[in-house]
Amino acid sequence: MDLYDLLKKLQTIEPNRDYTETSRRVVLSTPRVAKLSPFRILFRALESSAAVLVASMLVLIFFGGFSVLRILTPGAPSKTFDPLTLRAEAEAIDIQIQLANLNYVEPTEGETNPLATLLAMPTTTTSVAPPETITTENIRPEVAEQAKDLGLIRDNAPDEATPPEHLVGVDEALDLLFE
């Protein structure tokens, strides 16, 4: 048997169940001795000041709330259509649309996709293209940040002189390694 297989087999070692139950109970019931470090003192101050802030806001809402809301939304019909809120919600949808467009998916072999034509039609003017050609330069910052996190786009090369078509990512590098 391969050494690595042998070592992997050691993963099957497990503690005794009764021991685990007892130990867990004892550990979790052990009182914690909170050592007062300067950070903990400051953190407690922050917690209590935040709590005061939240409580104040709640008082304002409950006792002054109705009048505040009336000031913010004059007239019943426009209450639902506060323009700033509507715009913010519409922008959030737009961000999701752009992210969905960035997730270019090549249909896999054998996968039947009756909605393939829909995929080919972008829902916005943003073109749907494989991520290799899309960089952070041509999309909104808030979309770019989320897209980078999801691996939908890559950062520009640290050396700005390298044009995008010369960037070598994981899969390209692997291709070059087995040539």
Partner 1 sequence: MRTALYTPLGVTLGILFVFQGLFAVHAAEPSCQFQKQIEELAIKKKLSGSDSLTRIREELTVRKNLLRDIIDCATREAETLKEKLSMLTLYDQDTARAQTRLADELSKTISFYGRERVRINDVGLRASQDTARSIREWRRGNYASLADQTVNFIIWANNQDLMKTAERRLAELHGTVKTVKLSESEDIGTLVKKAREHLTAALSENERARKTFIDDALRGARNPSLSLASIKSSLQSLAETYQTFFDLRKLLKE
Partner 2 sequence: MLDGEHRIIKSAVRGEASAFGLLYDHYQPKIYRFVLIKVGQREDAEDLTHQVFINAWQNVYNYRSLGFPFSSWLYQIARNLVIDHYRTRKADLPIHAIDPDSFATVASAHFSVEHAMDMERVTRAIQRLKAEYQDVILMRFVEELSLKETARALEKSEGAVKLLQHRAVKELKTLLA
CA angle 130–171–138, rounded 5-degree value: 35
* Residue closest to 127 by CA, chosen among 138, 117, 136: 138
Least Å distance between CB 48 and partner 2? 14
Is residue 9 within 8 A of residue 2, CB to CB? The reply is no
Answer yes or no whether residue 24 interacts with partner 2 by CB under 8 A: yes
User: If you search the block for the tokens 């972008």, which residue do you land on?
Assistant: 122
Answer yes or no whether residue 1 interacts with partner 2 by CB under 8 A: yes
Least Å distance between CB 91 and partner 1? 10
Residues 33-62 within binding reach of partner 2 (CB under 8 A): 33-34, 40
Answer yes or no whether residue 11 interacts with partner 2 by CB under 8 A: yes
Is residue 156 within 8 A of residue 132, CB to CB? The reply is no
Give residues in contact with partner 1 (CB under 8 A).
Answer: 4, 39, 42-43, 45-46, 49-50, 76-81, 83, 86, 89-90, 92-94, 96-97, 99-101, 103, 105-108, 111, 113, 115-116, 118-119, 123, 149-152, 154-155, 157-158, 162, 166-178
Q: Which does 62 bind (CB under 5 to 8 A by kind): partner 1, partner 2, none?
A: none
Q: In Å, how far are 8, 14, 27, 141, 157 from 3, measured between CA atoms?
A: 9, 20, 36, 49, 40
